[in-house]
Amino acid sequence: MTRAAPRESRFGQLFLRGSLSRRMLAVSALWIITLLLIGGYALERTVGRIITDGFDERLRSVITALIATVELGPEGEIRLNRSLGDQRFQEPYSGLYWQISMAGQEPLRSRSLWDRALTPSTFDASKEPVAYDSNDFEGDRLRVMERDIVLPESPIVLHVQAAQNRAELDGQLARVRATVLWSLGVLGIGLIGMAALQTGYGLWPLRRISDQISAVRSGTVKRVSSDFPSEVSPMVAELNELLDHTEAQAEAARMHAGNLAHALKTPLAIVMNEAEGQTNPLALTVRGQLAIMRRHIDHHLARARALGRRSAVNVRAEVWPALEGLRRAISRIYPDVTIDLDGDRTAIFQGERQDLEEMAGNLIENAAKYGAGRVFVTVLRTSGPERFIEIVVEDDGPGIAEKERGRIFGRGARLDTEKPGTGLGLAIVKDVAEIYGGSIRLGSSDDLGGLEAKLRLPAAF
């Protein structure tokens, strides 16, 4: 049994399908932040090490001064032959201390230690001074440097210590961290802003291509402009060739369907003429079936024309003049029916006028045929990112039950068989409207009480 492929994570789906500019900016931001964090950490550690080394160097100087001045007295006691120059060694708890320890004696301490003492450690006298942090004094964290020495001509080992409160060192390190943090933060924001600017500028040709394609679809231009950078020019050329190929295929299919339909009409007309004037059952059946066949041919011919015209650009039709013409024509067929027009007189359909007349004519003729004498046609224009026009046709007839409204769009479906017709009108309206990206919806008229047919078609920009 084959295992199903694992489903992508939600994050993966969003990353793969999301905005290209956001993906590029996210990768750039991630890379910038990573490098800044690594660089900031290295910079902070380097500068902190330099500051700490400078702090330790001052303690090392104290150790050197103590070694230069320490000596043993006549009774073997530890003493300094001169005092150290820094006044802080004389002030109790000043934060700067020294201490010299020897086995078997009290350590010699700076006055600043007062009643406290540094904890001595044992180190090899041959090694360099060692620095470390100490918490021996409560509330007074120290940086301690110490080493063992042996005085000349004496076997006695002295342990020399110098210590200083870390407050000054910690303050300097904190200022370094804060400076590095806000400096790299500003730098990161600037770099991310530059990445966003670069991404927007770099992807601008793609947005232009999108606008050009929208213009082609709306009919304002015929093809995408070739004025693009060399990186996207091949794609634009392929796109224009695809448009040419699609239009050629649609035109060929339309012509083929039209030629086939016209080729069938001639023999149908001959058979119809032969059956005319005869009253036998066979002639009646032939005439009825021929009428149905003719309507089917008209239906598919209308679809073929609509498909061909839909692929053409710059095709527009003013809605109001087309409806005015339909009202005059249908009023002559149904002189007892009143047809009123209202609504937007400036609406323009993005398509062929003949297709508009065929769709609206079917709806108005049905309303006149099945209504009780009143037909009301309203033209509306919708708002929003996608512009549409709506042609609402209402009548005062019996209407159509809600459960029957879906079935009425089927080819040959008729709810009233007493009146002439083949039941293909609404099917043609639905097919042609969907070819143009529109729709047809049936409902109940609030004003006239009969059927309401709402035809939704794309509007020209």
Q: Which residue is listed with tokens 């700490």? A: 52
Per CATH, is 317-458 categorized as 3.90.1300.10? Answer: no
> pTM (2 decimals)?
0.51
Q: Which two tokens stand for residue 210?
A: 């999108």
Which residues make beta-bridge pairs with 380?
390
Q: How many helices (H) and strands (E) does the chain have?
A: 9, 14
Q: What does the DSSP assignment read for 45-100?
A: HHHHHHHHHHHHHHHHHHHHHHHHHEEE-TTS-EEESS--S-GGGGSTT-SEEEEE
CB burial readout 314-353, b (16+ within 10 A) else e: ebebbbeebbeebbeebbeebeebebebebeeebbbbbbb
What pLDDT does 370 receive?
A: 87
Give pLDDT, residue 74: 79
Domain edges within the chain:
16-202, 248-310, 317-458
pLDDT score at 304? 64
Residues 6+ positions from 139 with CB-CB distance below 8 Å: none
Contact between 123 and 142 under an 8 Å Cβ cutoff? The reply is no
Per-residue pLDDT at 188 = 92
C-alpha to C-alpha distances, 358 to 118, 310, 327, 414, nearest whole angstrom? 105, 15, 13, 19
User: What pLDDT shows up at residue 415?
Assistant: 43
Rounded Cα distance between 370 and 373, Å, is 9
151-to-67, 160, 162, 306, 322 alpha-carbon distances in Å: 9, 12, 18, 111, 118
pLDDT by 10s per residue, the chain, length 461: 444 444 555 555 545 556 777 888 888 999 999 999 999 999 999 999 999 999 999 999 999 999 889 888 877 788 888 888 888 988 998 999 999 988 878 889 999 998 888 888 766 656 778 889 888 888 788 999 999 888 877 778 889 999 999 999 999 999 999 999 999 999 999 999 998 888 888 888 878 878 887 777 666 677 787 777 777 788 888 888 888 887 777 777 767 776 776 677 777 777 777 777 677 777 778 777 777 777 677 666 666 666 655 555 557 889 999 999 999 999 999 999 999 999 999 999 988 888 899 899 999 998 998 888 999 999 998 876 678 999 999 999 888 888 777 677 654 444 444 444 434 568 788 888 888 889 999 989 888 889 999 999 988 86
Q: Which value, in Å, is the radius of gyration of the alpha carbons in the chain?
A: 48
Query: Rounded CA gap, 128 and 125, in Å?
Result: 8
DSSP-assigned letters across all residues of 12-35: HHHHHHS-HHHHHHHHHHHHHHHH
Question: In the numeric block, which tokens belong to residue 33?
Answer: 């932040």
Residue whose tokens read 């350590």: 107
Q: How far apart are CA 363 and CA 426, in angstroms?
A: 7
Q: What angle do CA 429, 432, 433 make, to 5 degrees?
A: 80
Burial of 412 (0-12, 13-18, 19+ CB in 10 A): exposed
The Cα 187–Cα 200 span in angstroms is 20
Q: What is the 3-state secondary structure (H, E, C) of 192-238?
A: HHHHHHHHHHHCHHHHHHHHHHHHHHHCCCCCCCCCCCCCCHHHHHH
pLDDT of residue 13: 53
**pLDDT reported for residue 246:** 77
Q: Check residue 53 and give its pLDDT.
A: 92
Residue 183, both tokens: 């400096």
Residue 388: CA count within 13 A, CB half-sphere: 16
Q: Looking at residue 414, what is its pLDDT?
A: 45
Q: For residue 244, how far is the Cα from the chain centroid?
A: 31
- Give the per-residue pLDDT at 411: 47
